[in-house]
């Protein structure tokens, strides 16, 4: 037994730090333990890599889109383009249900044939009518569109004889479509007062009472002359077409 309590023949004594795990020796760097205070930035907020808060996923975003289902917004655009730009009345039967309902202001609910007659009247009154789409919104099966119809008044419209004036009519259409891509119901609201003012039927909204009265007194004979002229044009047109003259009493 050697001095110091070590047996004879034993090798050299190891450093004390090497015999205690967890302590760094002369050649090993000391491992640093992160404390809660070390995991925050100087402002006291947790670091981004330490934020393990679970995030929620919107099921509507992860739900796969069904292919082949018609888009109501696209269908509404096609319906308006074919009807008012291409003048194709067949689109009413092709893109609407047989029991479709058309709700127009000042009229009872119309079926497809009644709506077709209204469109024909519009074409006769404004042969050069054009349609401008101002806004379109879609939500589910409903589509809302703000449109502007512009044309020259060359035919009778709402009992008003042709004035030759170019007027604009703003409309709001709401359409409901089904899953098969067919129109179920249509609602229309239009600025008819503004259009009648443009045609000269009504005075300006800001006109004073005396000016309104003067406008009415002048409008009555004016529209009487316009109506007589329109009848004369129709009469001459009928003669050129070979129809009998109805003005001569039987």
Q: Is the pTM of this model over 0.75?
A: no
pLDDT band at 38 (very low <50, low <70, confident <90, very high): low
What pLDDT, on the 0 to 100 scale, is given for residue 9?
57
Selecting from 3.30.450.20, 3.90.1640.10, 3.10.450.50, 3.90.650.10, what CATH number does the domain 72-201 have? 3.10.450.50
Q: What is the reported pLDDT for 65? A: 42
What confidence tens digit (pLDDT) does each residue in 181-206 have?
999 999 999 988 888 888 887 777 77
Strand 142-152 relative to strand 130-139: parallel, antiparallel, unpaired? Answer: antiparallel
Whether the predicted pLDDT of 88 surpasses 80 = yes
**pLDDT for residue 19 is more than 90:** no
Q: Assign 175 to helix, strand or coil.
A: strand
Q: At 176, is the pLDDT very low, low, confident or very high (cuts 50, 70, 90)? A: very high
Please state the rounded mean pLDDT for residues 73-78: 94
pLDDT per position as a tens digit, 108-151: 999 999 999 999 998 999 999 999 999 999 999 999 999 999 99
**Contact in structure between 181 and 70 (CB atoms under 8 Å):** yes
Distance in angstroms (rounded) separating the CA atoms of residues 201 and 225: 14
């Amino acid at each position: 037994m050697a001095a110091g309590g070590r047996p004879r023949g034993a090798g050299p004594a190891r450093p004390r730090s090497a015999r205690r795990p967890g302590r760094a020796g002369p050649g090993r760097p000391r491992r640093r333990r992160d404390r809660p205070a070390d995991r925050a930035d100087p402002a006291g907020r947790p670091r981004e890599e330490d934020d393990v808060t679970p995030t929620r996923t919107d099921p509507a975003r992860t739900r796969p889109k069904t292919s082949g289902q018609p888009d109501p917004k696209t269908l509404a655009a096609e319906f308006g383009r074919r009807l008012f730009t291409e003048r194709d009345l067949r689109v009413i039967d092709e893109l609407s249900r047989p029991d479709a309902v058309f709700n127009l202001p000042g009229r009872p609910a119309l079926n497809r044939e009644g709506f077709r007659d209204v469109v024909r009247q519009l074409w006769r009154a404004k042969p050069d009518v054009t349609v401008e789409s101002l806004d379109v919104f879609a939500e589910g099966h409903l589509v809302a569109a703000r449109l502007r119809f512009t044309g020259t008044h060359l035919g009778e419209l709402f009992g008003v004889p042709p004035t030759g004036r170019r007027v604009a009519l703003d409309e709001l259409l709401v359409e409901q479509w089904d899953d098969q891509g067919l129109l179920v119901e249509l609602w229309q609201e239009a600025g008819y007062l503004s259009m009648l003012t443009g045609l000269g039927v009504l005075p300006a909204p800001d006109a004073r009472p005396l000016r309104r009265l003067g406008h009415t007194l002048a409008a009555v004979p004016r529209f009487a002359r316009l109506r007589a002229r329109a009848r004369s044009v129709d009469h001459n047109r009928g003669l050129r077409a070979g129809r009998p003259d109805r003005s001569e009493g039987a």
